[in-house]
A and B are shown apart, each in its own frame.
Chain A
Amino acid sequence: DARVTQTPRDKVTEMGQEVTMRCQPILGHNTVFWYRQTMMQGLELLAYFRNRAPLDDSGMPKDRFSAEMPDATLATLKIQPSEPRDSAVYFCASGLVPRGWTSGSPLNTGELFFGEGSRLTVL
């Protein structure tokens, strides 16, 4: 049963500490998304990768957040230094964009598959 795997599931840390969250996308998927969910803001897109290349990270605070895909089986989201306002649930999602994708392609139906999330609490 293919699924997106995220670690850790829960993380409690102190302000100023570095936090790294990891995601293993579904094998064969070529797009990865990082979202943050809070009660106040709902779901916020932080970063989007296609074929391991970052295509959109406009929603990510650049001064403290960084997202990478060192290989096709691993995506990371790092916060350094962490702050209490970063407390949230962070989701990774993956999807498949067919070869030869264009924005108008009918093949690009694009449902996403989400991991179970990493709940971060920064004290």
Chain B
Amino acid sequence: DTEVTQTPKHLVMGMTNKKSLKCEQHMGHRAMYWYKQKAKKPPELMFVYSYEKLSINESVPSRFSPECPNSSLLNLHLHALQPEDSALYLCASSQPRQEVGELFFGEGSRLTVL
């Protein structure tokens, strides 16, 4: 069982919809991540929150809007997406920079944009 929980597992949305992906972890990690993964490609970093503050934004289009309400929760708000945004969106968490630790992944939210 993964200790990083993502909902929903699958999402189909139209280009005019507004939806959100949610992620929760209870491991006490203070760094949380959103990755995007296309088929047969490695995970590609989108955003990193460290101590609930956005620390890395990899030039992601503004139609993706992250939010970290508290140290256990991470959201990704989606608006006016394009079909090429269809992908597996992975949430992950880790210990922050002072400590050595691995990245724990959730099972992902598979997004299809019609």
Partners in one complex: no
Chain A residues with a Cβ under 8 A of chain B: none
